[in-house]
Structure 1
Amino acid sequence: MKTGQAPAPKILYSCYHTLNREGEQFVPDHVLSFQLAGSLTVNDGEHVHTFKEGDVRFHQRNQLLKFYKQLPEGGGEFKSVSVFLDQATLKNFSTEYGYTASGNHINKPVTLLQDHLLYNNYLQSLQPYEQLSHGDINLLNLKLKEAILILLKTNPELKDVLFDFSEPGKIDLEAFMKKNYLFNVHLERFAYLTGRSLATFKRDFEKIFHTSPNRWLQQQRLKQAYHLITEKKRKPSDVYLEVGFEDLSHFSFAFKKAFGKPPSMA
């Protein structure tokens, strides 16, 4: 962390009222989220999930997600509250209460939790803390503990998820990359999520795909972009972020180099 940089809030209130928002992110911590208004659509690379007002969801850590935050129909604000359960908090909880993971668990990037009175009461109890995101750390830690206890009460199977402190193990690289190539993250992140050092990731990648990771990623993203533009009639300006490019000009340059014409003329 840079000197003077404020720590990330562990209870985050999101509120937008002027436009819908989309993007992608790496989720490093478990998150308990409440959808207060509007809707959130999440794509984990295999499935698309949509959460509406009143829904409660749980995000598992170490996931890549694309999201689309939509304002309520007829106007209004997008609102959500997210409680971040970081590894340090969970390890302290494990030591204090004696909880440990007892076996393997199913990897589900995001799960809709069944409605429960405990969630409703907990959400109401968070309202006084809206202005304390960087406030009294002891009060905030108590709310994090409460969130963990509620999750264990309502979803006992999450014990093996919450208290699994292992790092990602070495997994099938080919299957992982074919699932996640549209996510615009650094190679170091892909390496970490496949249980490899960067050097091992590059070496294994070239053995499987017979080219470099960067070259393969660009080729796959451009193929997908070409399909969306020519077959689905999507606009280049609506496609470039979706297929993993950071800006429209770079996408247009790469597209023209690959296919002989700019995306606007495809």
Structure 2
Amino acid sequence: MGNIFRNSGVIYSCYTTISRESENFIPEHIFTYIESGSLQINVGHTVYILKAGDFAFYVKNRLAKFIKQPVEQGSEYKSLSVMLDTQTLLKLKENYKYTDEKSQFQSVIGLEPNPLYKSYAESLIAYINTEDKPSEKLLDIKVQEIALLLLETQPQLANVLFDFNDPGKIDLKTFMVRNFHFNVDLNRFAYLTGRSLSTFKRDFEKIFSTTPNKWLQQKRLEEARSLIEKGKKPSDVYLEVGFENLSHFSFAFKKAFGVAPSQLT
């Protein structure tokens, strides 16, 4: 079970059971704080683990899967996330020095423990937990506050925070092999590889000699079969490889391999 406060780019999550979010496109930079429990983040083939007391920064225009988990039965997973929206950052950029150089940062940047981060998170959580929920105006000010705090404590992030360009054209094959298990539409894949949808489809068929939809389904089914043969349950696998629901996955699996996924366990 989960309880989520969401307003003005501020999200406060509380779960008493494991939450497996099949996929998430990160449209804006995010500051996050894990109050209790642990968070597993899968980005391509890289896995990040955040524990209670950890702070992190997510870089925008990335794909990630999240597993939110209480430490033990009866406890709670709690986290605070603040989206640094483009409009807020545009207002701040004139006051900071930065270059137009493309900066290469990993998708999830761990932030060193800092009493300023802790004070900020605790003050915002206190507002959220009051009987009278905070106003949008107050939350907007708190979003500006964490943006300024990050710029003061992590000045190297200025080039990331003030990069408002769309993703540039990247190697399509490498990207798709790394990210096929994310259940996002072709428009999103096209955008993240720096292409229009028509160019994405054309380039894709040149590289893989098939359509994106056919390749994605086959690749996901092959990955699912490998995971099931290694001992994973079909009910755990279908989300992991990019299917929306178990019944569709089971139907496609049996059609492709002649047996139901449950018969391999």
Same fold (TM over 0.5): yes
Check 1:111–1:131 CA distance in 2 against 1; reply closer, same or farther (3 A cut): same
Which 5+ residue runs of structure 2 have no aligned equivalent? 1-5
CA distance in 2, matches of 1:219, 1:30: 32
CA distance in 1, matches of 2:217, 2:88: 39
CA distance in 1, matches of 2:174, 2:181: 13
CA distance in 2, matches of 1:64, 1:101: 26
Q: Is residue 2:235 matched to residue 1:237? A: yes
CA distance in 2, matches of 1:103, 1:136: 37
CA distance in 2, matches of 1:208, 1:134: 52
Check 1:174–1:242 CA distance in 2 against 1; reply closer, same or farther (3 A cut): same
Matching residue of 1:250? 248
Q: SS of 1:58's equivalent?
A: strand
Matched AA of 2:144 = K
How far the C-alpha of 1:146 sits from its partner, in A, is 1.3
Q: Is the 8 A contact 1:152 1:158 kept in 2?
A: yes
How far the C-alpha of 1:143 sits from its partner, in A, is 1.2
Q: Is the 8 A contact 1:100 1:164 kept in 2?
A: no
| Same amino acid, percent of matched pairs | 51
Q: Is residue 2:222 matched to residue 1:216? A: no
Which 5+ residue runs of structure 1 have no aligned equivalent? 1-6
Aligned positions, number? 257
How far the C-alpha of 1:99 sits from its partner, in A, is 4.5
Q: Deviations 1:17-61 (Å, cap 9, x if unpaired)?
A: 2x1111121110100001001000000012101100000010000
Matching residue of 2:8? 9
Matching residue of 2:19? 21
Matching residue of 2:3? none
Q: SS of 1:245's equivalent?
A: coil
How far the C-alpha of 1:110 sits from its partner, in A, is 0.7
Q: Is the 8 A contact 1:57 1:112 kept in 2?
A: yes
Bigger shift: residues 113-122 or 54-63: 113-122
Matching residue of 1:195? 194
CA distance in 2, matches of 1:101, 1:75: 49
How far the C-alpha of 1:131 sits from its partner, in A, is 5.8
Bigger shift: residues 97-106 or 178-187: 97-106
Q: Deviations 1:202-241 (Å, cap 9, x if unpaired)?
A: 01100110000000001100110111112x1111111111
Q: Is the 8 A contact 1:101 1:164 kept in 2?
A: no
How far the C-alpha of 1:8 sits from its partner, in A, is 5.1
Q: Is residue 2:34 matched to residue 1:35? A: yes
CA distance in 2, matches of 1:8, 1:198: 32
Q: Is residue 2:150 matched to residue 1:151? A: yes
The alignment's TM-score, normalised by the length of structure 1, stands at 0.91
Matched AA of 1:149 = L
CA distance in 1, matches of 2:51, 2:224: 29
Q: Is the 8 A contact 1:13 1:81 kept in 2?
A: yes
CA distance in 1, matches of 2:111, 2:228: 37
The alignment's TM-score, normalised by the length of structure 2, stands at 0.92
Check 1:157–1:148 CA distance in 2 against 1; reply closer, same or farther (3 A cut): same
Matching residue of 1:182? 181
Q: SS of 1:192's equivalent?
A: helix
Supply the RMSD in Å over aligned alpha carbons. Answer: 1.8
Q: SS of 2:144's equivalent?
A: helix
CA distance in 2, matches of 1:150, 1:156: 10
Q: Is the 8 A contact 2:128 2:134 kept in 1?
A: no
CA distance in 2, matches of 1:136, 1:79: 22
Q: Is residue 2:107 matched to residue 1:109? A: yes
Matching residue of 2:82? 83
Q: Is the 8 A contact 1:188 1:198 kept in 2?
A: yes
